[in-house]
Amino acid sequence: MKLGKDVAALKVQDLDGGERALGETWRERTAVLVFLRHFG
Amino acid sequence: MFCREQAVQLHRERDAIRRKGADLVFVGNGNRRFARGFRDEFAIEAPIYVDPELVAYRALEFSRPVLGLLNPKVWVAGARALGGGARQGAIQGDAFQLGGVLVVRKDGTVAYRFASATAGDHPPVTEVLAAL
């Protein structure tokens, strides 16, 4: 399975409020992406 | 409680993950203030992003069962997490939204995917590391 460009383009926010494309997280190295249930 | 358990377990392995040529990244569904508190409380050194609109969660088909907390498996997982030292903090995000773990290679190939079926349903860390 390969993630499409549409998924890679989805925006998430960094902790300073900047937007980042999700795909940037795996652009240079393999990413272990942990989607948390919530922060509590 | 469950997210803390999972985050701490995987964060402990961040050096092993790096040695295997990968980076650990967290995405949460609360807001940035919650994420900062989470980072500071657990001394998380990995990048943390937030997706309060759940856009990525939906695109990646992580489920959001509204009655999921009534599942008996959740209570079993709760006992396990408490036994391991995790404690429930104030819920900071969408309590119904479940998460998961993806290992994504540079070309976008998903080498591993785990979608939680219930709260507290996390993949074994060894399984995640084996996918690297």
CB contact under 8 A, B100 and A7: no
- Report the interhelical angle of B2-12 vs B72-83 (nearest 10°): 50
Q: How confident is the model at residue A17 (pLDDT cuts 50, 70, 90)?
A: very high
DSSP at B118: S
Residue B50, chain A, CB below 8 Å: the answer is yes
Chain A: residue nearest B60 by CA? A7
Residue B9, chain A, CB below 8 Å: the answer is no
DSSP string, B49-74: EE-TT-HHHHHTT----TTGGG-HHH
pLDDT of residue B95: 78
Q: How confident is the model at residue A8 (pLDDT cuts 50, 70, 90)?
A: very high
Residue A20, chain B, CB below 8 Å: the answer is yes
Closest-CA residue to B3 (of B117, B89, B70): B89
Dihedral over alpha carbons B48, B44, B60, B52 (to 10 degrees) = -50
Q: Judge if ipTM > 0.90.
A: yes
